Amino acid sequence: MSRYTLPLTLPLLFALACGDAGSASSDGSTGDESTSEGGSTGDTGVAARPNWHEDIAPFVAENCQGCHQAGGIAPFSMQDYAQTWPWATVMANEAEAREMPPWHALTTEECAPPLPYKHDAQLADEEIQLLRDWAELGAPEGDPALAAPLPAPPSLDLDSPNTVQTMASPLTIAAQGSTLDFFHCISIDPQHGDDVFLTGIQTIPGNRGIVHHVLIYTDETAASAAWSGGVKQDCGGGAGVSAPTQLIGAWVPGGLPMEPPPDVGVRLTAGARLIMNVHYHATGGGDAVDSGTGLALRWVTTPPEYISIFNLVGAPGDGDSLTGELLIPPGAAGHVEEYEWVVSAGGQAFPDSIEARVWAVAAHMHKVGVDLRAWLVDRDTGEETCLLHTPKWDFNWQRVYEFDGAVGQTVRVKAGDKLRVRCVYDNTLENPGVVEALAEVGGDAPIEVHQGEGTLDEMCLTAIGVAVKGL
């Protein structure tokens, strides 16, 4: 992380990356000279395009500033020209490599999902080219008088919540040696008297500088009410209780409210709590306190047309292994585990007159995992419908992917269809996740990995949100 804290090296890096020290100002203050390389400003009075004011500012406002802003999770801000131009080449590189903005559900040779996902953050080829062109021109500022209007940032607030509940007691997050990552579970009491059906869930990060990602579980029996201060520290990758839970949501910085399609609600029984598994990433710059993390929830009390349930399939979840006990030998690359679940309602076939539709899908592995794919196999035709493929799995960017469409357009599932999930692992030092996980436990060579909750255990899971009509 040191490169983020040494701003003086940035102009130098930038100049080296451009292969031309003259293309950017070296003081990093205004970048005024940076247009000289593009060349057109002085001669014609027409600012080189693309430039910051006309092209890049609106682009980063829409695609990058959700995280790259003061106090945000990203290591540098892109809120004005001076902050942004030194990064121009790295921005283009990251965009071309499709590392930024973070988005991991890809269309691949093995997977063509039937519908687009909501809030898809992937950049179009022209947008990536825009960043490249700007970098190659030397990141010109352009003329503020010609500045394009900036798009309003998307509202992260859930519309008309019924309740907003935050953590009961603050947490102090401090780096401990090389350990920067902490997983603490927070119990949230929505204080709903009766059964309710959630139509909107929004995670509210308290300290946006350290809240890296959040998984949301229902806690059906309110087992987490026993936690002192409403918190269970170091609760691993799950909900931190052995009582029944359901993963219903996942959030990453900049994440918009999760809203099932119209006529769909997620059941939350009377008295149930919610558990937030919060991944805190310490800044390394001393203690940081989080006090305001919580949830905004919107619900209806009359059962909607479709009631959504979430099903976990894989390890640990429903279904059978096609590959035997989860065991990843040290040094194994391309190691595969695969699971199959025959779709049922709690083990019982349900009649075709019951309409069930997959409107959301999520993936979960730990840090040895590198690739996960989930797909449905039609019981009658054997036809495959891919739901999700994350060929560049990244533990830090887990989310629930929601299909973008009315519930009636989403994928129908019938009892007897098969849901498969296939996970690929790389248990070598070539995998940065393994290096990171080993560092956390003070190891330096890969070890045999089994199924479990710990950093150096693994899982192979997909969660599907199924909207069932007439439950």
283 backbone φψ class: left, alpha, beta (φ>0; ψ -120 to 50)? alpha
Cis peptide, bond prior to residue 161, ω within 30 of zero: no
Asked if residue 209 binds ligand HEC (CB under 6 A), the reply is no
Work out how close the CB of 379 gets to ligand HEC at its nearest, in angstroms, rounded to a whole number. 38
Minimum gap (Å) between residue 217 Cβ and ligand HEC: 22
Q: Rule CB under 6 A: say whether 133 interacts with ligand HEC.
A: no
- Rounded Cα distance between 4 and 286, Å, is 16
* Residue 200 engages ligand HEC in binding (rule: CB under 6 A): no
Distance CA 406, CA 402 (A): 11
Choose which of 68, 208, 367, 420 interacts with ligand HEC (CB under 6 A): 68
If one asks whether residue 102 binds ligand HEC (CB under 6 A), the answer comes out as yes
Q: How far is the CB of 267 from ligand HEC (least distance, A)?
A: 30
How many chain residues are in contact with ligand HEC, going by CB under 6 A?
19
Q: Indicate whether 87 belongs to the interface with ligand HEC (CB under 6 A).
A: yes
CB of 72 to ligand HEC, least distance (A): 8
Amino acid at 7: P
Shortest gap between Cβ of 216 and ligand HEC (angstroms)? 17
Our finding on whether 180 is near ligand HEC (CB under 6 A) is no
Structure tokens at 86: 């030194």
Alpha-carbon distance of 359 to 178, in angstroms, equals 40
Distance of closest approach, residue 77 Cβ to ligand HEC, in angstroms = 11
Taking the complex as a whole, how short is the minimal distance between the CB of residue 220 and ligand HEC, in angstroms?
Answer: 31
One character per residue 236-275, x = contact with ligand HEC (rule: CB under 6 A):
----------------xxx---------------------
The Cα 247–Cα 314 span in angstroms is 14
Among 95, 137, 204, 460, binds ligand HEC (CB under 6 A): 95
Q: Rounded to whole angstroms, how far apart are CA atoms 113 and 117? A: 9
Segment contacting ligand HEC by CB under 6 A, of 38-46, 70-78, 310-318, 375-383? 70-78
Q: Is 433 in the site for ligand HEC (CB under 6 A)?
A: no
Cα separation, 371 vs 394, whole angstroms:
9
Residue 400: partners with Cβ closer than 8 Å, 6 or more residues away: 249, 250, 258, 360, 361, 362, 463, 465
Q: Figure out which of the listed residues 11, 50, 66, 230 binds ligand HEC, where binding follows CB under 6 A.
A: 66
* Exposure string over 83-114, b if 16+ CB within 10 A, otherwise e: bbbbbbbbbbbbbeeeebbbbbbeeeeebebe
Does 101 interact with ligand HEC (rule: CB under 6 A)? Answer: yes
Q: Is 370 in the site for ligand HEC (CB under 6 A)?
A: no
Q: Are 316 and 451 in contact (CB under 8 A)?
A: yes
Cβ atoms of 365 and 395 within 8 Å: the answer is yes
Residues in contact with ligand HEC by the rule CB under 6 A: 63-64, 66-68, 73-75, 87, 90-91, 94-95, 100-102, 252-254
